[in-house]
Every structure is written in C-alpha cells, then in structure tokens.
Amino acid sequence: MGAYIIRRLLLMIPTLLGIMLINFVVIQFAPGGPVEQVIAQVTGSDVGATARFSGTGGGDFSAGGGNGGADATSSTYRGAQGLDPEFIKELERQFGFDKPAHERFLLMLKSYVTFDFGESYFRSVSVIDLILEKLPVSVSLGIWSTLLAYLISIPLGIRKAVKDGSVFDVWTSVVVIVGYAVPSFLFAVLLIILFAGGEFFQIFPLRGLVSDNWDAMSWPMRIADYFWHIALPVIAMTIGAFATLTLLTKNSFLDEINKQYVMTARAKGLTERRVLYGHVFRNAMLIVIAGFPSAFISIFFTGSLLIETIFSLDGLGLLSFEAAINRDYPVVFATLYIFSLMGLVMGLITDLTYTLVDPRIDFEKRDV
C-alpha cells in the first residue's frame, strides 16, 4: 500500500500541472482582463461586474486579459485610445503582464509550490488571507451537508432495499424523487419563507455564520449560535445529495442481495442482520464510497454559490465567482489550485477507504 500511495502522490504532480496549464492558456484569451478593468474605470466606461466590486467590472473589451508583454500602445486595449502609453506600461507592470506568458506561468507555479498566491488585484490583501477568511463558511457548509446526507441516505437506502416494493419503499421514493427534482436554491427560498421571516415563522437568521456578539458568548452558546445560523443552508444543500445517495445505496444493496453468496449465507442459518451487515454491506458500500469525493467536492464548492448568495454567507463559492467575473487572476488561480489539489487528495483517500471497507482489495496488484 505504501508504494501505491507514493505512486498516486507522484501522479498528482503532472495532473495538477496539466489542470493549471489548460486553465492558464484559456485565461489568455478571456476578454476584459485586469488592465482593461482599470482602463474602463479611468475612462468612465466601467459598468461594474458585481455589486461587491463596484468600479472594477469590465465592459465590452476585445483584448485578452493575458496579452501583456506586447508593445504598450494605446491600440493594444480597446478603450485605451488617448491614454498615455507609459500609463498602460505601468498597468502591465503592476499586474505582471510585462512578462511573456510562459514566464508568468513558471513564476506562478514556483510560488504555488510554497502556497504563495500573491495579492488580490482589487482587494489589496493577500490571497491566502482572503481564502482563509472565507474558508470557514465553505468548510461548514461542505462538511455538515455531506455528513448529514450520508447519515440519512445510507440507513434509508438500506431500509428501502430490504423493504423493496413495500408501502414504505413507495412513499419514501416519492419523497426522494421530489428532493431530487427540486433545486437546492428553490428549497432554500422555501425554507426562508417558512422559517426565516417570510410569510410564516422567523426562527432562523438570514445573514452570517455567527451572530455579531459571538465573541462575548460562552462556549455552549457559541456552538448553539453557530448551528442556529447554518441550519437552513445545510438543509438546503443536503436535499439534492440526499436523494442521489439514497437511490445509489438502495440500488447497490439490491444488486448484492440477489447474489449467490447471500443465498448461501442465509442457507447456513445466519441471521438477516448478520447477512446484511456482515456480508452485503462491505460489497454494496464500495460504489457509495466511490462517489464520496465527487459528492463532497460538489457540495463543498460548486453547490455552495447560490446558497451562499441566498443566505448572505461570504464563502469560497461566492469568492471564486466574483474573482472570475472581475478577472482577479490571483484569486482565480489560487482557488483553482486549492480545489484541484483537494479533489486529487480526496481521490486517494477514497482508495484508502476502499481497503478499510473491504480488506480483500489490494491496490498494490493493480496499475495506478
């Protein structure tokens, strides 16, 4: 197993390099780069990309954000006509576009090895500090949503498989299908209407991860306040993953229950519980475990954007979206690097979990 882990860790290097290279090349052709953002602001043509970055949004520009290094003339960027070429050169130097693209990429990789992500273009703060500031929100939503989804889905899926075709299976299937069909953001709106000061009750808060006076609270009150704030966002994010995992667990158990080794175990006189959890469980759970990384990453990052917006939570999902819209490249590439690295690490953790669930699996005997 040690050799397999080392091979997987070494394989992460070219994989991560390829991800960063492809996205870096794509960025070079993206219109409305940071130089154009400043030019638009100076010339008064800035229309604002997001409310948070009022005054830094890009207009309709044709020059790519990464075409720095070219001769700094007013014709290089649309909207720069009439501006001093020295001013354009200074902008390119400030954003690092006075260097060739390949040199910028190599410098970026060198810094990222030590997790030095530089400074945000438009926030005047270290990118790593910015990420650490937003991380608690995304970590809270991701961990608790994934944990809640698995705690509900696995027992429910097993029960549905055992009671396949019964009234319980039919009615729970209706609930699962509705949960799968309703987008998480619509469910979030429904929760707000019902429990957060909409048309009915005002039980839960609508803003922030904790209350303003959180520091003055005792530890028990801090914990209660924290869960009070994240209750509705976590429930809203869990609904889609809960439905998918429940059906996945049920189908996986149904497939195993009908196999010959289960009939043999029953014929030997083993109890149904022993058959189900002693033999079926470790085989049926493999496919569920295999989907854990994608479920976690999806809930942790992709699924959090709309939820963070609806519940006024300032997390990594919203940060990444605003950075992409405003061409804040240090933040864009830093979050991409961290997200990709986490995805690769989660893949390795999944393989290690396989061996815990079923010790018969030996990754040493297969190619990476």
Residue 357, in any domain of the structure: no
Residue 348, in any domain of the structure: no
Band (302; pLDDT cuts 50, 70, 90): low
For the chain, how many structural domains are there in total?
2
Position with higher pLDDT, 184 vs 355: 184
- Residue 311: predicted pLDDT: 86
> Does the pLDDT value for residue 86 go beyond 50?
yes
Position with higher pLDDT, 49 vs 136: 136
Residues 159, 174, single domain; the answer is yes
Residues 69, 153, single domain; the answer is no
> Does the pLDDT value for residue 63 go beyond 70?
no
Q: How far apart are CA 243 and CA 237, in angstroms?
A: 11
Q: How far is CA 84 from CA 41, 71, 72, 285, 290, in A?
A: 15, 13, 10, 65, 57
- Residue 17: predicted pLDDT: 92
- Residue 44: predicted pLDDT: 64
> Does the pLDDT value for residue 75 go beyond 60?
no
> Does the pLDDT value for residue 96 go beyond 80?
no
Residues 102, 162, single domain; the answer is no
Question: Poorest-confidence range of 245-249, 300-304, 319-323?
Answer: 300-304
Residues 97, 162, single domain; the answer is no
Each residue of 206-241: pLDDT tens digit?
888 888 888 888 898 999 999 998 899 988 888 867
- Residue 179: predicted pLDDT: 80
Residue 155, in any domain of the structure: yes
Q: How far apart are CA 349 and CA 351, in angstroms?
A: 5
Question: Poorest-confidence range of 64-68, 260-264, 346-350?
Answer: 64-68
Each residue of 246-281: pLDDT tens digit?
888 888 888 888 888 888 888 888 888 888 888 888
Taking each helix axis from N to C end, the angle separating 127-162 and 219-257, rounded to the nearest 10 degrees, works out to 50
Do the beta carbons of residue 314 and residue 136 sit within 8 Å?
no
Position with higher pLDDT, 69 vs 139: 139
Each residue of 151-168: pLDDT tens digit?
888 889 888 988 888 999
Residue 19, in any domain of the structure: yes
- Residue 45: predicted pLDDT: 61
- Residue 67: predicted pLDDT: 44
- Residue 18: predicted pLDDT: 92
- Residue 300: predicted pLDDT: 63
Q: How far apart are CA 53 and CA 318, in angstroms?
A: 12
Per-residue pLDDT, averaged over 31-55, amounts to 60
> Does the pLDDT value for residue 65 go beyond 50?
no
- DSSP classification of residue 276: I
- Residue 367: predicted pLDDT: 52
> Does the pLDDT value for residue 190 go beyond 60?
yes
Residues 154, 290, single domain; the answer is yes
Characterise 116 by phi-psi region: left (phi > 0), alpha (psi -120 to 50), beta (else): beta
> Does the pLDDT value for residue 64 go beyond 70?
no
Residue 342, in any domain of the structure: no
- Residue 14: predicted pLDDT: 92
> Does the pLDDT value for residue 32 go beyond 80?
no
Domain encompassing residue 192: 128-325
Residues 138, 271, single domain; the answer is yes
Band (66; pLDDT cuts 50, 70, 90): very low
Residue 347, in any domain of the structure: no
Residue position matching structure tokens 């604002």 = 48
Do the beta carbons of residue 172 and residue 180 sit within 8 Å?
no
Residues 194, 283, single domain; the answer is yes
Residues 134, 257, single domain; the answer is yes
Residue 189, in any domain of the structure: yes
Position with higher pLDDT, 152 vs 61: 152
Beta bridge partners of 31: 64
Residue 337, in any domain of the structure: no
Characterise 299 by phi-psi region: left (phi > 0), alpha (psi -120 to 50), beta (else): alpha
Q: How far is CA 133 from CA 58, 128, 171, 314, 315, in A?
A: 26, 8, 43, 9, 8
Per-residue pLDDT, averaged over 293-314, amounts to 73
Per-residue pLDDT, averaged over 186-201, amounts to 82
